[in-house]
Chains A and B, each alone.
Chain A
């Protein structure tokens, strides 16, 4: 059995799967404030998916594309339709956790869009991420958001680049002075710990009960 000292910060596909299912389960039971994660069992690249509502009370209407078509003949006048004047623009964010075979670590993919489906661009997304992932902070060493093709959905998503993951995972487990954990324990808590670090970048928090629950 490999010694935790020689551990390189990565996790195998099998351990990822086990960890992911357990993570999803715990999340659902202890963190009902948020939508649950669901496991998408696609044969080559199974992943965890979560549609997440990111309520951003952003009442500035966004410019979008201006339509300048000719006015239509009036429909029947309809008193029964409510006309709403102010419209809060909300932004939604979907998160997927996908296993990377190259880096042997989980990778967080995200995609943000407006309520009418228009996708948000990276600079718009970055504006809404918590201040700690602004460019000046040291945490940004690990927080590099790039646009890449989702490995399965084959469309451009944004992801937190995984090349620093194994390093900070090692630091997380071995850098503290809480003694040397056993490797099995490390692997069991892997996804939870990974998420607690990575989630901060995108404003997702793990409630304490999940962290304390060591079943």
Chain B
């Protein structure tokens, strides 16, 4: 039912591209390992298949296999050979540039013309008859940004322009064009063609139907022999497009070929489409097109113009894809680390709060044996924000016991520990947000000269700022007195504070109780000084009347003083059994995780192992002790409780309110006058009254050196 001369312009649905991730992976690999900066064009293969679904078009797909093999990539996946019915191979060329500028600077018109010319040559040389897939030759330009893992690309599917354009006389589903018998025969013949590995991927062919309704599928090169009268002859092609009113892109060059080669003016074509792997003649279309060729087409040298750059959402711009998530090693490390923790939550600990672990900021005072191990354990738990403070340099003996350092850090006098530690953490897990601060912690009992005063005050302020900007503070230094100022500052701001201290073969790990003020969990506001007296009554207790837990100094009867001068060498170096630091560090971090999961956090009561506390021991992570003291000689560990002391030199209300009133001057006084703190807190008084007791038995006051003080 041809409509005479009233046809509309035949409009073709453009090819669409689909690039599998694997293609970019292989291109990156080739670029890095093989090509380097060489940007000569690369021959590639695209793959397509006839439309297989009534609502979805098929695409021209690029896979890893589209590129030449990368010899470094051991791949024994059997190559997808010719003959794969779902992967009709189409030749293409890739121009991959080295910079964004050269990508945009490529002569797109020129490149398109060059590919069009190749198609034109193949048409005239007869190559198309041998390998018809060359009619669908394509072009790809790209720029692979291997720092950001993003790929800019643009496809062109060159189509020779018929001038004037072909007109469509008729287009209808194939099932309406053939008789029933013919249709059946055509389907059978096509299915055979598709199922034979010799022809399955040959995308252009002939369908001839005899007067006996028997159909046959033939190669293009058999065209001459198909010139029987009484036969219907259709030019058939694998049509990726699913649309009912338009044929797909491959028909453009097919028509160009037909009219250039055989000089036909009327062409009956079959857009071959499938459904579920079988020929579908209601989806497939049969059409009739009228072509008028200009003079120029006879002349081989005159290459017709071409169109074909793929539109990106309707615009003439390139596409871009970012694959950082699946290619950037840092991202992959992050997701692997997350996986581990999520698995833990899924399989063993559903109440694990990963958000708090990912967001919490930890300050580690000391980057020695304890600091290194605590940092590693924190990262293992998913903590990402870690600051280390240490003013020392890595010494030759350090790498053995301080797990973040290696020999390289010791050379040339040794790097600063804080810096070397941060570097090491980043090598272990690039996504860690680690900072190193090279700074000494001002200590009471180590008086400073007036010239040094300003810099010491500066250090105090800096320490205060650091504590203020972190959520958790670990006291991991190697002297008692260096823990005093941080303890005071933490008590003042109610920060979670965890102390770890080592003796020769014993250790202490404890969490400090909350500070004397802001006792209720809801009171996050800093009390103005005038109210501090009123609140003094609350100083020792939480609102529920229970005593608050003590800090590291609460049980001491002497103020921290200089414990380092006038000691023998073996007393000066912190000599401990190597196993202690890892044990204590691990416990310190586990204790922190317990605090973070306790509903009362820093205000949580202490629990002792083997107690019969009904409610809180049912917390998934177990009990939350106050102090853990361990002894290696006995391979034993005890959980203990110590409440705050009214006379504590670091956290009692007297000291904290003095600090609030007088700030840095108070600190300076404590630093410079060894007995100041004892006088202030009444410890001096306490000692005096204790000494007036006439007692025979030995009133042993522990040496300031001994880190582990027995209750």
Distance in Å: Cβ of B266 to nearest Cβ of chain A: 17
Q: In the complex, what distance in Å separates the CA atom of A83 from the CA atom of B313?
A: 11
Residues in A neighbouring B315, C-beta threshold 8 A: 67
CA distance A144 to B252 in the complex (A): 49
B interface majority secondary structure: mixed
Tell me whether A146 and B339 are in contact (CB under 8 A): yes
CA distance A69 to B76 in the complex (A): 40
Contact, CB under 8 Å: A147 / B9: no
B16 touches A115 (CB 8 A): yes
Interface centre among A85, A87, A148, A156, by most chain B C-beta atoms within 10 angstroms, is A156
- The 8 A CB mask of A53-72 against B (1 = contact, 0 = none) is 10100000100111111111
Contact status of A147 and B14, CB under 8 A, knowing A65-B322, A75-B109, A80-B162:
no
- A66 — which chain B residues lie within 8 A by C-beta? 320
When C-beta atoms are compared, the residue in chain B nearest to A65 turns out to be: B320
Question: How many A residues touch the partner, as a band?
Answer: 35 or more
Q: Which of B205-251 contact A (CB under 8 A)?
A: 243, 246
Q: Which residue of B lies closest to A84 (CB)?
A: B13
Within the complex, what minimum Cβ distance (angstroms) separates B24 from chain A? 9
The answer to the question of A117 belonging to the interface, with a C-beta cut-off of 8 Å to chain B, is: yes
On whether the beta carbons of B335 and A147 are closer than 8 Å, the reply is yes
Q: B11, B17, B61 — which one has the most chain A CB atoms within 10 A of its CB? A: B11
Given known pairs A55-B56, A67-B320, A69-B318, the reply for A119 and B347 (CB within 8 Å) is no
Interface residues of B in 301-351 (CB under 8 A from A): 305, 307, 309, 312-323, 325-326, 332, 335-336, 339, 342-343, 346-347
Write the chain A residue with the least CB distance to B304: A76
Residues of A within 8 A of B23 (CB): 117
A65, B150: Cβ atoms closer than 8 Å: yes
Give CA–CA (A43, B326) in the complex, Å: 26
The answer to the question of A14 belonging to the interface, with a C-beta cut-off of 8 Å to chain B, is no
In the complex, which residues of chain A have a beta carbon less than 8 angstroms from the beta carbon of B309?
A: 72, 75
8 A Cβ contacts from A50-104 to B: 53, 55, 61, 64-73, 75-76, 78-85, 87, 90
Q: Considering only CB atoms, which chain A residue lies closest to B156 in the complex?
A: A75
Q: Contacts A33-B276, A55-B55, A148-B339 given; indicate if A155 touches B25 (C-beta within 8 A).
A: yes
Q: How large is the interface on B (under 10, 10 to 19, 20 to 34, 35 or more residues)?
A: 35 or more
What chain A residues lie within 8 Å of B150 (beta carbons)?
Answer: 65
Q: Which residues of B contact A71 (CB under 8 A)?
A: 316-317
A129 within 8 Å of B (CB atoms): no
Taking the complex as formed, is A17 at the interface, i.e. its CB lies under 8 A from any CB of chain B?
Answer: no
Contact B347 A163 (CB under 8 A): yes
Interface status of A152 (Cβ within 8 A of chain B): yes
Is A113 at the interface (CB under 8 A from chain B)? yes
> How many A-B residue contacts, CB cutoff 8 Å?
133
- A85–B10 Cα distance when bound, in Å, is 18
Q: Which residue of B lies closest to A78 (CB)?
A: B307
B69 at interface, CB cutoff 8 A? no
| Chain B: CB-nearest residue to A152 | B77
Q: Does A40 contact B (CB under 8 A)?
A: yes
On whether the beta carbons of A43 and B76 are closer than 8 Å, the reply is yes
B68 at the A interface (CB under 8 A): no
Q: Is A115's CB under 8 angstroms from B59's CB?
A: yes
- Give Cα A79 to B12, complex, Å: 10
Docked complex Cα distance between A75 and B308 (Å): 9
A76 CA to B108 CA, complexed, in Å? 13
At the interface, yes or no: A32 with Cβ under 8 Å from chain B?
Answer: yes
Nearest Cβ on chain B to A1's Cβ, whole angstroms: 32
| Residue B39 CB within 8 A of the other chain | no
User: What are the residues of chain B within 8 A of A41 when measuring CB–CB?
Assistant: 78
Contact partner, B18, options A65, A70, A115, A147, Cβ 8 Å? A115
A79 touches which of B165, B313, B316, B322 (Cβ 8 Å): B165
Nearest B residue to A144 via CB reads: B346
A78-B161, A117-B19 given; 4 more Cβ-contact pairs under 8 Å: A67-B317, A81-B307, A117-B61, A121-B325
Q: Show the binding face of A for B, using Cβ within 8 Å.
A: 32-33, 40-43, 53, 55, 61, 64-73, 75-76, 78-85, 87, 90, 113, 115-119, 121, 144, 146-148, 152-153, 155-156, 161, 163-164
